[in-house]
A and B are shown apart, each in its own frame.
Chain A
């Protein structure tokens, strides 16, 4: 049975975060700017903090605290995305599976009214966009597929026969590619 941190332990872990971790958190939150409407991005950090502090999201102590925080943030971002999608009629959103040409022209054609369809769709397109961007890079795709399948880094390396160096290099390319602004979510 997994040991769950107490509320005091969560509070202590939050207050003990160093500058480097806080910078990562700041950047992470900013990364959602193009995936969610501005008000949701603004809420995201506050909601994450609230849920971990009040125990709505429980911290299994075998998970590193930062990983737990980022996981909580992803989960809330997904909830926001789903809510936004519900609030905008399907006819204004199109499908996340539409091909590029259709969806881009759709987004251009629809003015924001009661919510920006581009905001509602961006989150659902994120995985697709990343896959499109790194589709030719087997190692980066292995890092992504491993994570989607819930594998640890070691399991991913074993499954895809990657050396630790190749894995780290692939993570670096993934990170640089995303931050370089080639991906909507990080511009």
Chain B
């Protein structure tokens, strides 16, 4: 019984939040990785792309709510999601046409792209703040929990509760569907295969008649869709604030790099590695140990490896360590 209680505590405070946060990071990292493998630069604007997508979801959700349209127990944002995906795709294609295409044609070095993407980051960030303002917006509705802590206790008779928030369930379900769809697209469809071929060897792909502009366009479409979904899910789970997305950029980069930039499987694994190491290292083990150890050994302190304030900093530490020890990432070699 004690072991079950201890497991429930870990499940409630680490596993479930970790799965949700990990999925958000994984979706973001997948977008970063796709852009990296096809366009060959680290897209610093990806965080703001997520922010833009989330903003569209917020606006459409508010409009739907005022029109009285909803999904019952599911968040209304799910209806808004297609609109936000479409909007983000349009924005990205527009930006590619106006900004990035020129550098592709002039075959600009990698660093130029990097700095250009910072310009894009500023512009989209400004646009988002201009449209919706910098303040905090909560757009979650529907029922709050799938399982409430109290009903879980009643169901199982344990001392500890396990709560699953609706947003966490929605996040995980959406992430699974999207990831399967992306992998199916990359591995099974002709277009996906041409994308992989292009990322593998540009010249060879050109010789075999693959249209580079089309590949780039499709990459932006997928990256934008992923960004919009990841941004919306993050906004649903926490709340929408334009300013947080720049902070989210580094964990996303960390996830992409930990997994190995250019590897979609790695990006997803990296997302969960980052999320779980953040939570496991800043988790206070006191309660768990109290259940597991005999009473005489019960700990007095919180038994925390690092205080919670360092949670986000931890992903940067992991990022730096991976860059130093194994810059190719955990899944190196298995590119797109």
The reply to whether chain A is a binding partner of chain B is no
